[in-house]
Amino acid sequence: MARERITFIASDAKEAQAALRRLRDRYGEAGDNADVIVALGGDGLMLHCLHQMMGGTFADLRLPIYGMNQGTLGFLMNPYAEDDLLVRLAVAESSVLHPLRMRAHGRNGRISEALAINEVSLFRETHQAARIRIFVDGRMRLDSLTCDGILLSTPAGSTAYNLSAHGPILPLNTGVLALTPISAFRPRRWRGALLQQEAQVRLEVLEADKRPVSAVADNKEVRNIIEVEISEDREIDLQLLFDPGGALGERILTEQFAP
C-alpha cells in the first residue's frame, strides 16, 4: 500500500502545532485522499486517533497511523524527525490492535457500550471497597473479590495502568488478555489471571447500592453500574506503523527488561 499521501493531525501543544505547520508546508496535506495519518503528539493523541478511527472523524478512512512523539512518554509513537518522512513511511512495520468492547449495565436500567484500546476498568466510587463477582465464559471463577477495582487489559495496554497495578506485561501476539485486581483486600493472594483473547468476561457488582462502582473504557466512564460484559472485538483492526526494529511488539518485549 502506498503511503505518500498524508493527512496530519496534532495535539494542542505549542510544539506539536508548530511541527504540524512545518510538515504540512513540506509534505502537503491530502485530507480525505490520504493513504496514511501522521499524528504529532503523545500517547494521549494516539489513543484519540484510534478512537476516532473506530467511530469518529476517521471512521470512514480506516488508515494506518504513524505517530511522531511531540508529547511526554510516546510509547506508541516514533521519534520525531522532519527529514525523509516518506522513506520512513515506506519501510514502516505494522502492528495490528483489536479493541475491547465494554457493555455496562447501570442501576437505572440503561446499557452503555464503549470500546477500549488499553483496558476496561472498574473502580469503587466511595470509601467503601467494591465487591465483584467474576465470570469467564459463563462460569463463575471468583465468588467475591473485595478490592478498589479490577481491570481487563489488552497486550497494547498491558504496560500502562495494568503494569502500575502489578499486572503482567503481555507480548503483542500471545493471544491473551490480563485480568488484574486493583488493591485486592480479599482474597489477598489472588493476583489476577491470564485469559484467552476469545474469553467472554462478566463482572457482577455485589451490594451495588452500598458499594457503588463505575466502569471506564479508556476515557469513557459509566457510573453506578451493576454488571459489565467485556470481550475483544476481532472485527475491528487498528493499524499502527513503526520504524523498523521499533514495532509495538518489540517495545512491549523490551519493557519487560527495563530496570
Q: For residue 21, what is the domain's CATH number?
A: 3.40.50.10330
What per-residue confidence (pLDDT) applies to 249?
83
Domain presence at residue 13? yes
What per-residue confidence (pLDDT) applies to 2?
73
What per-residue confidence (pLDDT) applies to 257?
86
Q: Residues at the annotated binding site?
A: 43-44, 48, 118-119, 148, 156, 159-164
Q: Which segments of the chain have a pLDDT < 70?
A: 1, 56-61
Q: Check whether residue 60 and residue 161 sit in a common domain.
A: no
What per-residue confidence (pLDDT) applies to 188?
85
Domain presence at residue 248? yes
Active site residues: 43
Q: Check whether residue 180 and residue 154 sit in a common domain.
A: yes
What per-residue confidence (pLDDT) applies to 59?
61
What per-residue confidence (pLDDT) applies to 131?
98
pTM of the model: 0.88
Measured distance CA(214)–CA(186) in Å, rounded: 20
What per-residue confidence (pLDDT) applies to 54?
87
- Overall number of domains in the chain: 2
Domain presence at residue 1? no
Q: Is 195:201 a contact under the CB 8 Å cutoff?
A: yes
Q: Check whether residue 116 and residue 225 sit in a common domain.
A: yes
Query: Which one, of 56, 46, 55, lies nearest residue 10 by Cα?
Result: 46
Measured distance CA(61)–CA(49) in Å, rounded: 12
Handedness of CA 36, 40, 41, 42 (dihedral sign): positive
What per-residue confidence (pLDDT) applies to 1?
62
Q: Check whether residue 125 and residue 227 sit in a common domain.
A: yes
What per-residue confidence (pLDDT) applies to 245?
86
Domain presence at residue 60? yes
Q: Check whether residue 63 and residue 115 sit in a common domain.
A: no
Containing structural domain, residue 184? 100-232
Domain presence at residue 141? yes
What per-residue confidence (pLDDT) applies to 246?
79
Q: Residues at the annotated binding site for NAD(+)?
A: 43-44, 48, 118-119, 148, 156, 159-164
Domain presence at residue 34? yes
Which residue is associated with the grid cell 524527525?
A: 81
Calculate the alpha carbon distances from 91 to 11, 88, 134 in Å: 25, 6, 44
What per-residue confidence (pLDDT) applies to 60?
65
